[in-house]
Amino acid sequence: MGERKGVNKYYPPDYDPRVGGLNKFLGTHALRERARKIDKGIIIIRFEMPYNIWCDGCKNHIGMGVRYNAEKTKVGMYFTTPVYEFKMKCHLCDNHFVIRADPANLDYAIQSGARRQENRWDPTQNEQIVPETKETQKRLFDDSMYKLEHGCEDKNAAESAKPRLAQLFNRNEDVWADSYTANQKLRADFRKRNNELKQTAANDNRLLKKSSLSIPLLPETEEDNKMASLLSMKLRPSKSISENTEYIRKKIISMSSLPATNFTRKKEERAVRILSRSKSDLGIVTKRPCTGTGLKETVKKPKLEVEVSLVGDYGASSDSD
């Protein structure tokens, strides 16, 4: 198919080879829509996200490997290496973020519109390949003794890593000796995990529907389980349902059958104790009548109250006219 691209082009009858190529004759560019801003030094390319980022517009997470149509612009030089800048639009909102190449650190730097999810590490700690600096490269090129010492260090590192590499190789052979059994175990684990995720999602949806909420629920943690157990112990009633039922049953049995009386067993025992006491225990003192000769009973007659009248009684008067 590739060899026919150059010969299967349509040349119109008025085509003049002296003008130049077919694109120049038609006034188009070989990149078509990707070169619509070529006059501004911008080319549209397919850019792949080099690491995980957070969009500043919608606050959503964008994973590494997501591809965008980006505007590629040359903004400078690092020695003889061109520095390019890429501008693209978030697919979840109207925000734009700009990412610039960083040849000095062999990385990409975010200029605006997003922030990087920090999960970087020191490659020397993981025994990864670390690129040599400019000074080291120049010294290796100029100093033969330094180059020999550098090579000896690499050989010593390779010799020290051989036992660990042998262990990894043997472990890989033991695990994957029977690829069918290993694949079967992995698929069983994946199937079990998938069922657990489905059950968790169903429980979350049931809880959200019951609570009339529309928020995403985070997975359970050990701290959440401890807090829930403490709250359940704090809010638990002092008596269980069976104990409350037994208490109500005994209370009903001890009540009187007559609605007008409210005479319980305790009140009955208290009344019996009160009735069995003597008068002196109750504080009652009886006075005996005195019958001696020296003492006479004096009975005081009640005084008659004289009523005062405003009308005179002249019938009983002895005076005459």
The DSSP annotation for 107-130 comes to: EEEEEESEEE------TTTTT---
Q: From CA 254, how far away is CA 305, in angstroms rounded?
A: 61
Beta bridge partners of 116: 53
Residue 5 — φ and ψ, nearest 5°?
-65, -35
Count of Cβ atoms closer than 10 Å to residue 277 Cβ: 9
**Per-position b or e across 233-264, b if 16+ CB within 10 A of its CB:** eeeeeeeeeeeeeeeeeeeeeeeeeeeeeeee
CA nearest to 88, candidates 69, 102, 73: 69
- Residue 89, exposed/middle/buried by CB under 10 A (0-12, 13-18, 19+)? middle
SS3 label, residue 78: strand
Are the C-beta atoms of 205 and 198 separated by less than 8 Å? Answer: no
Nearest 10 degrees: Cα torsion 160, 164, 169, 174: 150
Over its C-alpha atoms, the chain yields an Rg (Å, rounded) of 53
Per-residue pLDDT tens digits for 156-211? 988 998 999 999 999 988 888 888 988 999 999 999 999 999 999 999 999 889 88
Per-residue pLDDT tens digits for 270-304? 766 766 665 566 566 666 655 554 444 444 555 55
Q: From CA 276, how far away is CA 278, in angstroms rounded?
A: 7
Q: What angle do CA 249, 253, 257 make, to 5 degrees?
A: 135
Q: Can you give the pLDDT of all 321 residues of the chain as single tens digits?
A: 455 555 667 788 888 888 888 888 887 887 888 888 888 889 999 999 999 999 999 999 999 999 999 999 999 999 999 999 999 999 999 999 999 999 988 899 999 999 999 887 777 777 677 777 778 888 888 888 888 888 888 889 889 989 999 999 999 888 888 889 889 999 999 999 999 999 999 999 998 898 888 888 888 888 888 888 777 766 556 666 777 777 777 777 776 665 555 556 677 677 667 666 655 665 666 666 555 544 444 445 555 555 555 555 555 555 544
Beta bridge partners of 45: 70
The pTM of the full predicted model, rounded to 2 decimals, is 0.41
